[in-house]
Amino acid sequence: MAMPEDDIFTPHATRSRPPFGGAHARGKVIDQDGRELSDGPLHPQFQGFQDGFRFDFRNSSANPFGNLTREERLARLEMIAKLLDVAFVVPGTNVRYGIDGLIGLIPVIGDLITTAISLWLVREARLLGAPWHITARMLANVAVDGVVGMVPVAGDAFDVMFRANIRNVRMLRRWLDKQPRL
């Protein structure tokens, strides 16, 4: 038996409906172990997921960047600056270097990555209330570090010695220490 040509060009209403679009289950809902699930409310632990997943990162303990005090933010900035600039020691010397010097060995891309992280530190300083003149000096340090760091070998040596992130955090710390406590 052949199918009429109408059905080929104009599908039936049942075929044109999306597979799960607004449809309710017609039969019993069975879990993976073969047990029948009731249509009642969800377990209280999963009640919030009934309408879909929602995350509120602004007021959540899951957000590592929110709800930090001024001192906690500054401590985080100092830790990141130390990791970027002075985390390791060249064996047998007193020369310290950080991840900035290592990532900077990757031509162009490494310097762009470390410059982006340094700019994030400047943004955090701005969020802590640093005035424009402090922020401008911090941006100048990042620019010098980024531009000179792009030079293949000499730039990497400059990155190790200049330590723009440590300079920026020290500058921010000095400014914050002069500010009155609230």
Residue with tokens 């000499």: 154
What pLDDT score was predicted for residue 180?
84
Ordered alpha helix ranges (H), the chain = 5-9, 13-16, 70-85, 99-103, 109-127, 132-149, 154-162, 164-178
What pLDDT score was predicted for residue 60?
53
How many CB atoms within 10 Å of residue 182? 4
Residue 102 CB burial class (10 angstroms; 0-12, 13-18, ≥19): middle
Reported as a single tens digit per residue, the pLDDT across 54-104 is 555 555 555 555 677 888 899 999 999 999 999 999 999 999 999 998 998
User: Are 78 and 172 within 8 A, CB to CB?
Assistant: no
pLDDT over 80 (residue 123)? yes
The DSSP bridge partners found for residue 92 are none
Of 79, 143, 82, the closest CA to residue 116 belongs to 143
User: Are 118 and 146 within 8 A, CB to CB?
Assistant: yes
Going by the DSSP 8-state scheme, the letter that residue 26 receives in this structure is: S
Number of residues that make up the chain = 182
What is the Cα–Cα distance from 38 to 29, expressed in whole angstroms? 8
What is the model's pTM? Answer: 0.63
Who contacts 81 (Cβ-Cβ below 8 Å, separation ≥6)? 121, 165, 166, 168, 169
Report the relative pairing of strands 88-89 and 96-97 from DSSP bridges: antiparallel
What pLDDT score was predicted for residue 181?
72
Most confident of 53-62, 129-138, 148-157: 129-138
Considering only CA atoms, give the Rg of the chain. 29
pLDDT over 80 (residue 156)? yes
Residue with tokens 């992130």: 165
User: Are 142 and 164 within 8 A, CB to CB?
Assistant: yes
